[in-house]
Amino acid sequence: MNVFITGGCGFIGSHLAERLLDRGDRVHLLDDLSTGSMQNIAHLVGRPGFGYRIGSALDVPLVTELVDSADVTVHLAAAVGVKLIVERPVHTIETNVRATEVVLGAAARKKKLVVVASTSEVYGKSTSIPFREDQDLQLGPTSHSRWAYACSKALDEWLALAYLREKGVPVIVTRFFNTVGPRQTGQYGMVLPNFAAQAVRHEPITVYGSGEQSRCFGHVCDAVEGLLRLMAIDAAVGEVFNIGATHEISIRALAEQVRTAADSRSDIVLLPYGEVYAAGFEDMMRRVPDVSKLQRVTGFRPQTSLEVIIRDVVEDQRTRLAAAAGSTHLASART
C-alpha cells in the first residue's frame, strides 16, 4: 500500500510512517517543518519505500501530485498546541481549514481514501462524560481565541463528511485525546513533555490553574494502532472515532507521578492561567473519551498504562537533555 501523510515530520506522523514501513508499505511524507522536525524522521531516511517533501499542505499542485500517487492519505497537518493556538489564531484557522480543503479536493479527483485527524478539543465545554462521537458539541464564544482550534477542527470534520456525501470521497475522522510519547516536544504547551523536561532538569514543574483539571493520556503507539486498524476496515468509512486512553488523572497528580518517575528534586508550582495565556482563558475540568465505538469496529482499544507512558516520555526527555549537553560541550571544545 502507498500511504501519503501530511504533517509527517510531526510526532504522530513519524511514528505512523515507521509502523507502515515496518510492515512493508511505501510512505511519502509532506511537512513544512513549522512544528514538525527532520529529527523525527532522520532514522527513516534511506529506507526502501520511504520519501519526503518539505512543503506546505496548502500547495495545491504538490498535494494533488502526492494524493494521486497514494492509495490512502492520512491528513495530520494542523496548527497544534494551546500556546500556538492562543497566540496565532489566524494561522490556526487558515492552516486547519484550508489545508483540509486542499487535501479533500485532491482526493475527490480519484475518490482516494482520506483519514482526517481531529481532536478532543471539538467537544469544547461539554460536561457529558465520557465524550461520545454522536453527542452535541459545546464551544465557547468567538471573542476567545481559545476556541478557534476547536471550531476549525469541527469544520474540518463537517467538510470531510460533506465531501463523502456530495463527492463520494471515502473519509474517516479520528479524534485524538492527549496523545503522548517519545518525539513529542513541549514547545507549544503539551503538558506531559513539559513536565518531564522540567523534572529531568530538576526545575520547578509548572502546573497551570488549580491542577485539579483532569485528562486521559494515550500512548502514541496505541494511537497509531487505532489508525492502522481503521484504515483497513470498510465499515470505518464515513464514521468518526475517538482514539485515546480512558484512565483519568488530575494534572497535579500527573506532575507528582512525573517527578517520582524522573527521581527529580523539582518543586511543583501552580501558575494562574492569566499569567500564561490571555485574560479570560477557559479550560475544561475533565476530558474523557468513550472508545467503545473504536473497539466495536476494530476490536482494539488503547491499553498502555500511564506508568509506561510517563516512563517513555521521561526517558525521551533525558535523551534530549544528554544530546543538548553533548552539543554544548562540543561547541565549547571548538572555541
Mean pLDDT, to the nearest integer, of 278-306? Answer: 91
Cell of 104: 479533500
4-27 pLDDT tens trace: 999 999 999 999 999 999 999 999
CB 82 within 8 A of CB 188: yes
Statement: residue 276 has pLDDT above 80 = no
pLDDT bucket at 331, cuts 50 / 70 / 90: low
| Confidence category of residue 49, pLDDT binned at 50, 70, 90 | very high
Distance CA 314, CA 235 (A): 38
Helix, strand, coil abundance in the chain, percent, nearest 5:
45, 20, 35
Say whether pLDDT at 53 is over 90.
yes
The C-alpha cell of 94 is what?
A: 487558515
Cell of 298: 476494530
- Determine contact, residues 15/220, Cβ cutoff 8 Å: yes
SS3 64: helix
Percent of the chain with pLDDT over 90: 81
**Catalytic-labelled residue, pool 52, 123, 149, 163:** 149
All 3 cell numbers of residue 174? 479520528
pLDDT of residue 279: 63
pLDDT on residue 189: 60
Whether 149 sits among the annotated catalytic residues: the reply is yes
Q: What is the pLDDT of residues 197-206, one digit of tens each?
A: 999 999 999 9
pLDDT at 335: 54
- Give the pTM: 0.93
Nearest to 88 by CA among 96, 99, 79, 75: 79
- What single-letter DSSP state applies at residue 278? -
pLDDT category, 334, cuts 50, 70, 90?
A: low
Mean pLDDT, all residues of the chain: 92
pLDDT bracket for residue 87 (50, 70, 90): confident
Asked if 309 and 180 touch (Cβ cutoff 8 Å), the reply is yes
- Count helices and strands (H / E) in the chain: 10, 13
For the beta carbon of residue 246, count every other beta carbon within 10 angstroms.
Answer: 17
Lookup: cell for 50: 520511504
Confidence of residue 207 (pLDDT cuts 50, 70, 90): very high
Cell 482520506 belongs to residue: 114
Residue 213 pLDDT exceeds 70: yes
pLDDT attached to residue 79: 75
pLDDT tens digits, one per residue of 144-153 = 877 888 899 9
Fold of 2-177+219-245+286-303: Rossmann fold (3.40.50)
Nearest to 323 by CA among 9, 84, 15, 42: 42
pLDDT of 55-73, one tens digit each? 999 999 999 999 999 999 9
Task: Report the pLDDT value the prediction gives residue 45, as an integer from 0 to 100.
Answer: 97
Across the range 208-227, mean pLDDT stands at: 96
